[in-house]
Structure 1
Amino acid sequence: MTEAHFVLAAEKRSEEGRRNSRRMRRAGRVPAVVYGDGKPAESISLDVFEAYKFLANEQAYSNVVTLKLDGHKESVLIRDLQMHPYKDEILHVDFMRVHQGELVTLSVPVHLLNEHSAVGVKMGGGLLHRALTEIEIQGPVGKLPEAIEVDVAELQAGASIHLSSLKVPAGVVLVALKHGDDKEVVSIHAPHGPAAEEGATEE
């Protein structure tokens, strides 16, 4: 994790149910809930404009968020975000309370490095294929990476990179590997057609 600090203001709400949630959204608030860490769940709401701005940053999903709630602070992770099926509208957000060092599971994005200069693309004429756009990890709060970086600079046409080849911080594990599933992360498909045949003839 970086030292970036993520803070979001919230207010408690007493009214629940779909009708009240719709009324809340029309008033510019987003219904949400915060739970976990042995404390009762609390129904809360967020300012819609602050919520959109905050949730647009992918780093917010793998960092501990300080939730400023009616005079006190809660350390939380975003656990679920419900969007309208066809409108750009946040319907509900779930936050889970956490404490430093607690073991948690979440998904982080995959960031490819040097994808446009990869050997298999630039020299081999292959097509880069992203098999995974995010990876589920497990690790202690405070050591969770914001993303998994995968350098494909030396990746050849017809080759691939799997989970077992990735580097992660100490104490962090890839959930799929725990279950023996060494998934493909990225590959470069070898070229087909006239261009590939021409290359084979030249060889």
Structure 2
Amino acid sequence: MSHATYELKAVARERVGKGSSRELRRNGLIPAVIYGDKQAPISISINTNEITKRIHAGGFLTTVAVIDVNGEKIRVLPKDYQLDVVRDFTMHVDFLRVSANSQVSVQVPVHFINEEKSAIKTGAVLNIVRHEVELHCPASDIPEAITVDLAGLKVGDSVHISAVKLPKGVTPVIADRDFTIATIVAPAGGMEEEAAEA
């Protein structure tokens, strides 16, 4: 479970709009907003380098942070960020306020283990249908990843969400069907030809 939190310093913004956002970016800051938890949104500015480091470190959208806005500490979960399409420069970040008992929906990466104990060892291919799964979970207990064990899987086998052991209190957002995460398939024209030759 991802319990790691970090703190960011921010300043509340009085002025909003394109002009003030451009001015912030020129000064090494980016505009951001904190919303949710039945409270009025707060427009803030944050140090660009700090946010960019956090985004590139991984797990940005699944790690709860504490933002110090002029001395008031607010627990948040980053919900979205915009990058400049040309320069890969952070343009804006949205933060969702979370409390100790908040439930959130987050995209969690899928990790695969024991490939060498499956048909992949003999040339089959892992066809990943979902690299991430959207989960509903407590904001204080967001899984860093979900793990899929491939041991014993043969060509033609599929891994569905029901086969994955999810942590307590965590459920898939898609609840109306047992969706596929990955399948084991024969390589294009590979294994059938080998079998025919044998």
Q: Distance in 2 between matches of 1:194 and 1:170?
A: 42
What 5-or-longer segments of structure 2 have no aligned partner? none
**How much does 1:49 deviate?**
0.7
Q: Aligned AA for 1:58? A: G
Q: Distance in 2 between matches of 1:35 and 1:194?
A: 53
Please name the residue that 1:142 is paired with: 140
Q: Aligned AA for 2:75? A: S
Instruction: Work out which of the residue numbers 168, 171, 189 in structure 2 matches 1:170.
Output: 168
Distance 1:37-1:122 versus aligned 2 partners, 3 A rule: same
Instruction: Work out which of the residue numbers 142, 161, 185 in structure 1 matches 2:181.
Output: 185
Matches within 5 A, 1:40-59: 40-59=40-59
Please name the residue that 1:5 is paired with: 5
Matches within 5 A, 1:14-163: 14-115=14-115, 117-123=116-122, 125-163=123-161
CA deviations on 1:84-118 (whole Å, 9 max, x unpaired) are 22321111100011101222212111122234x25
What 5-or-longer segments of structure 1 have no aligned partner? none
Which runs of at least 4 in structure 1 moved beyond 6 Å after TM superposition?
none
Q: Distance in 1 between matches of 2:61 and 2:81?
A: 10
Q: Distance in 2 between matches of 1:135 and 1:52?
A: 24
Q: Distance in 2 between matches of 1:194 and 1:45?
A: 55
Q: Aligned AA for 1:160? A: S
Identity %: 37
Helix, strand or coil: the match of 2:59?
A: helix
Q: Distance in 1 between matches of 2:140 and 2:103?
A: 10
**How much does 1:130 deviate?**
1.3
